Amino acid sequence: APRVVTAPTAEVGDVAADVVAAFIRREPTGVLGVATGGSPLDLYSALARRRAAGLDTSGLTLVALDEYVGLSAADVRSYRAYVQTLIAEPLGIPAGRVHVPSGADADDAAAYEATIDSVGGVDLQIIGIGRNGHIGFNEPGSELDSRTRVIELTESTRQANAPWFDDDPTAVPTHAMTQGIGTILDARALVLVATGAAKAPALAAALSGPVTTDLPASVIQRHPDVTVVADPDALSGAW
Ligand code: F6R
């Protein structure tokens, strides 16, 4: 069963950073899978502070979960830009060791799987959870053995991500390229970060509901090494 660690909202990033920093000390040239979005922002700034305090993060390889379709790589709202400016640069990781799906052409999905294989697979994968239980952009209905592919985003997800697009859900791309559920499960360890009551129903179902394509995050129950770091609000559902 997943290890569940509760922390006050303001400390979730630091507690998750403890787990990631322990991994980095063990495997300074390891492969870190990175989620984007709001949930892990404090975790990434906590890691940058630890780097300033002497943790060598510069040897890592970064592998992103997903990318919007239809944004240019230079677009500040692209996940390429997020990973570059909020993770790679603060952690001193050179661009050659930063991998993000292209989102440009559906044919690039298989190439992304090959990229992940070529770096030896993901050692530690940071994930968030959508209000509808998605992980990566694997929306409900995604096959549990799915691989990297282009998927249509649900209205709920476009609504949730509107704050990054001037609060205009219609400006959020309709499609994304995402690692599949099977791809994510191949990571050797998972760290799920969640805060806020909006995540409570999905997180409770992920922790103790049936493992089902209706709630992709429920697959964490099938992974042998999962740490959930969440605040009391996110854990306020029945699980
Ligand atoms: C981001 C990702 C998504 C988010 C999820 C939660 O790369 O794959 O699954 O983790 O949508 O988003 P936030 O953290 O913004 O609530």
Interval 131-158: pLDDT, tens: 999 999 999 999 999 999 999 999 999 9
CATH number assigned to the domain comprising residue 112:
3.40.50.1360
Instruction: List the catalytic residues.
Output: 66, 132, 134, 139
The rounded distance, in Å, linking the Cα atoms of 236 and 239 is 9
Residue 192 lies in a domain: yes
| Residue 73, pLDDT above cutoff 80 | no
Residue 32 lies in a domain: yes
The whole domain housing 95 covers 3-230
Closest-CA residue to 230 (of 4, 2, 22): 4
Mean pLDDT rounded to a whole number for the chain: 97
Cβ neighbourhood burial of 166 (10 Å; 0-12, 13-18, 19+): exposed
Residue 239 lies in a domain: no
Q: What percent of the chain has pLDDT over 90?
A: 97
pLDDT score recorded for residue 70: 94
pLDDT score recorded for residue 30: 98
Structure tokens given for 26:
């063990």
Taking the CA of residue 196 as reference, the ligand 1 atom at the shortest distance is: 16
Cβ neighbourhood burial of 94 (10 Å; 0-12, 13-18, 19+): exposed
The rounded distance, in Å, linking the Cα atoms of 160 and 31 is 29
Structure tokens given for 174:
């309709």
Helical segments of the chain, H only: 12-26, 41-52, 79-82, 89-91, 108-118, 155-160, 181-185, 200-208
Question: Which protein residue's CA is at the shortest distance from atom 10 of ligand 1?
Answer: 128
12-26 helix and 41-52 helix, angle to the nearest 10 degrees = 50
pLDDT score recorded for residue 123: 98
Task: Count CB-CB contacts under 10 A for residue 105.
Answer: 11
From the CA of 136, how far away is ligand 1's center (Å)?
7
Taking the CA of residue 39 as reference, the ligand 1 atom at the shortest distance is: 14
Number of domains in the chain: 1
Taking the CA of residue 161 as reference, the ligand 1 atom at the shortest distance is: 15
Q: Which residues' Cβ are closer than 6 Å to ligand 1?
A: 35-39, 65-66, 128-130, 134-137
Residue 211 lies in a domain: yes
Q: What pLDDT digit, counting tens, does each position of 167-179 carry?
A: 999 999 999 999 9
Residue 238 lies in a domain: no
Cβ neighbourhood burial of 222 (10 Å; 0-12, 13-18, 19+): exposed
Which ipTM was obtained for this model?
0.99
From the CA of 34, how far away is ligand 1's center (Å)?
10
Residue 64 lies in a domain: yes
Helix (H) or strand (E) holding 34: strand 31-34
* Residues pairing with 98 in the sheet: 62
Residue 33 lies in a domain: yes
Residue 236 lies in a domain: no
User: Longest C-alpha distance within the chain, in Å?
Assistant: 44
Under 8 Å CB-to-CB from 97, ≥6 apart: which residues? 60, 61, 62
* Residues pairing with 190 in the sheet: 125, 226
Mean pLDDT, residues 47-75: 96
Under 8 Å CB-to-CB from 218, ≥6 apart: which residues? 133, 205, 206, 209, 210, 211, 212
